[in-house]
Structure 1
Amino acid sequence: MNLHPYVVTLGTAGGPRFWGAGAQQGHRCGISTAVVVGDAVYLVDCGRASASQFAAAGLNPKQLRGIFITHLHSDHTVDLPGFLLFGWMMAGREDNPVKVIGPGDRGMLPAINPNASGPVSPQFPDAPTAGTVKMVEHLFRAYSTDITDRMLDSLRPSPYTVFQPEDIQVPVETGFHPNDNPTPDDVEPFVIYRDDLVTVTATLVAHPPIAPAFAFRFETAAGSVTISGDTAPCDNLVRLATDTDLLLHEAIDMDWAAAAYSDVSAATREATLEHHRKSHTTPEQAGQIATAAGAHRLALHHLVPGNANPEVWAQAGRHYDGPLQIPQDLDHLSFARTPSPAAHRI
């Protein structure tokens, strides 16, 4: 078996938007990355159109071993129903179900943004912060007519025989608390999945108010890839990505963000900009993180806006001397092992 590992950038845009006119109009789907090792495929996040992109990339659902969710924002999960319901048609998975691994229930409400002018309540007080296991249940319930029809009329097995959801258990010793300590310092990467081809480790990253939010590292015999998820600059991510062969990191254009919210109330605009500042990373900061980690290659994805001029993202090269890529959707990026570059810390 050829184990040369690579990723396929199924979708490279971030944010819960349909990106309109611009240099990249129509060329960037929602964030999703396929990690390919030999004949096995592992999926990280399920952004808009990722199920269709999975097929367009020539990948077969029968190759899929795991779906890994960095956090539960809609732009990372909106196509999960497509994988669950269409992938349910895979035969012969009863003894080898696809793991669906992601954050557990937050356990408590986040604080209300101080820009609020009145009371704010959750839309669904009975389950306001559902984790991965409960989200999959909610999705299956939402499609109960479809599932019942196919089980009773077509004699399909339960979709739970094909997909096995799991909530990531954050180690107690990290000191994690969703409100008081969502991104503890000095988190040691911890294993969340292992098979004969990969070991997947995770760490907590800074994406408030979402908690927990994770980054993942896939380690193989032939190389490693680290996928940041959504995060502000974070020492935990540097630790996870140390000496990684490929770092896939999110990036946002803050100049775009400052001008993008003229059609909402002043309170919503300020709250949204505050979120971007404390929860995301500029291209220059991504370059600094790659240098600090000694990453052998850096690629930017989860690009916000999804239709920016490529020159915006090239700014990462101001602080990173290694190979820098700004991939398009469906690009193949190798993460085969390369010699370690000289690294310096920020």
Structure 2
Amino acid sequence: MNLHPYVVTLGTAGGPRFWGAGNQTGHRCGISTAVVVGDAVYLVDCGRASASQFAAAGLNPNQLRGIFLTHLHSDHTVDLPGFLLFGWMMAGRQTEPVAVIGPGDRGMLPPVNPNALGTVSPQFPDAPTAGTAKMVEHLFRAYSTDITDRMLDSLRPSPDTVFKAKDIKVPAETGFHPNHNPTPEGVEPFVIFRDDLVTVTATLVAHPPIAPAFAFRFDTAAGSVTISGDTAPCANLVRLAEGTDLLLHEAIDMEWAAAAYADVSAATREATLEHHRKSHTTPEQAGQIAAAAGARRLALHHLVPGNAAPEVWAQAGRHYDGPVLIPQDLDHLSFAATTSTVSPRI
């Protein structure tokens, strides 16, 4: 088996928007990354169109061993139903269920933004902050008509035999608290998944008010890749990514953000900009993180906006001397320790 590891950037745009094909760059789908090791595939996040991109990349659902969610914002999970329901059709294979691993229930409401002009209440008071396992259950319930039809008429097995959802348990020694200490300093990366090909470790990153929010590192016999998830500059991520062969880090153009919300109320605009400032990373900051971690290569993804000019992202090279990659959707990026190859889209 060829274990040369690489990622496929199924989608490289971030944010809950539709990024059209503008005059500056090609169309980008929602954030999603396939980690390929030998014949196995591990999926990180399920942004818009990622299920279709998975097929376009020539990947087979029978290769899928795990789905990992960095956090539960919609731009990272909106295509999860596609993988769960269409992937269910691979039922009958003789392997373990596909692991669906992500944050657990927050456990309490986040603070209301101080810009609020009145009372703000959760949409679903009975389950306002469902975690990964509960979200998967809710999704299967939402599609109960489809599932019942296929189980009773087509004799499909229960989807629970194909997918097994699991909440990530944050180690108690981190001191994590969703409101008071969402990103404790000095977190020791902890293992969340291991099989014969990969060991996946996680750390807590800074993406308030979402908590917990994670970054993931995949270590293989041939190399490593670290995927930041959504985060502001964070020492925990630097520690997780130390010496990694490839760091995929989010990036946002803050100048774009300042001009992008002219059509909303002043309170919403200020709350949104405050969120971007405290929860995301500029290209220049991403370069600083890569340098601090000693990453061998840096690739920017989860690009906001998804149609910015390439020179916006080039700022990552101001503080980082290694290769800076700005992949398009469906690019192949090797993370083998002995190569710096970037393959074109297939």
Letter in 2 for 1:256: W
Task: Report the RMSD for the aligned CA atoms in angstroms.
Answer: 1.2
Q: CA deviation at 1:172?
A: 0.3
Q: Distance in 1 between matches of 2:234 and 2:291?
A: 13
Letter in 1 for 2:127: A
Further displaced range: 195-204 or 11-20:
11-20
Pair 1:8-2:8 in alignment: yes
Q: Which residue of 2 aligns with 1:344?
A: none
Letter in 1 for 2:240: L
The question of whether the paired residues in 2 share the 8 Å contact of 1:24 and 1:306 is answered with no
The question of whether the paired residues in 2 share the 8 Å contact of 1:11 and 1:53 is answered with yes
Further displaced range: 90-99 or 7-16:
90-99
Deviations 1:215-257 (A, max 9, x none): 0000000000000000000000000000000000000000000
Q: Which residue of 1 aligns with 2:174?
A: 174
Q: Distance in 2 between matches of 1:169 and 1:311?
A: 40
The question of whether the paired residues in 2 share the 8 Å contact of 1:229 and 1:250 is answered with yes
The question of whether the paired residues in 1 share the 8 Å contact of 2:20 and 2:28 is answered with no
Q: Distance in 1 between matches of 2:176 and 2:33?
A: 27
Q: Which residue of 1 aligns with 2:137?
A: 137
Q: Distance in 1 between matches of 2:293 and 2:281?
A: 15
Aligned counterparts, 1:140-219, within 5 A: 140-219=140-219
Q: Which residue of 1 aligns with 2:344?
A: none
Q: CA deviation at 1:339?
A: 8.9
Q: Which residue of 1 aligns with 2:343?
A: none
Letter in 2 for 1:278: K
Return closer, same or farther for 1:20/1:165 CA change in 2, 3 Å cut-off. same
Q: Which residue of 1 aligns with 2:47?
A: 47
Instruction: Give the TM-score normalised by structure 2.
Output: 0.97
- 5+ residue gaps in structure 1? 341-346
Q: Distance in 1 between matches of 2:52 and 2:117?
A: 41
The question of whether the paired residues in 1 share the 8 Å contact of 2:254 and 2:282 is answered with yes
Give percent identity, aligned residues only.
89
Aligned residues: 340
Q: CA deviation at 1:19?
A: 1.4
Letter in 1 for 2:259: A
Q: Which residue of 1 aligns with 2:241?
A: 241
Deviations 1:44-90 (A, max 9, x none): 00000000000000000000000000000000000000000000000
Q: CA deviation at 1:95?
A: 4.4
Deviations 1:9-43 (A, max 9, x none): 00000000011353456520000000000000000
Pair 1:61-2:61 in alignment: yes
Q: Distance in 2 between matches of 1:52 and 1:339?
A: 29
The question of whether the paired residues in 1 share the 8 Å contact of 2:29 and 2:50 is answered with yes
Q: Distance in 2 between matches of 1:318 and 1:326?
A: 15
Q: Distance in 2 between matches of 1:144 and 1:306?
A: 35
Return closer, same or farther for 1:339/1:310 CA change in 2, 3 Å cut-off. closer
Q: Which residue of 2 aligns with 1:223?
A: 223
The 4+ residue runs of structure 1 with deviation greater than 2 A are: 20-26, 91-95
- 5+ residue gaps in structure 2? 341-346
Instruction: Give the TM-score normalised by structure 1.
Output: 0.97
Pair 1:269-2:269 in alignment: yes
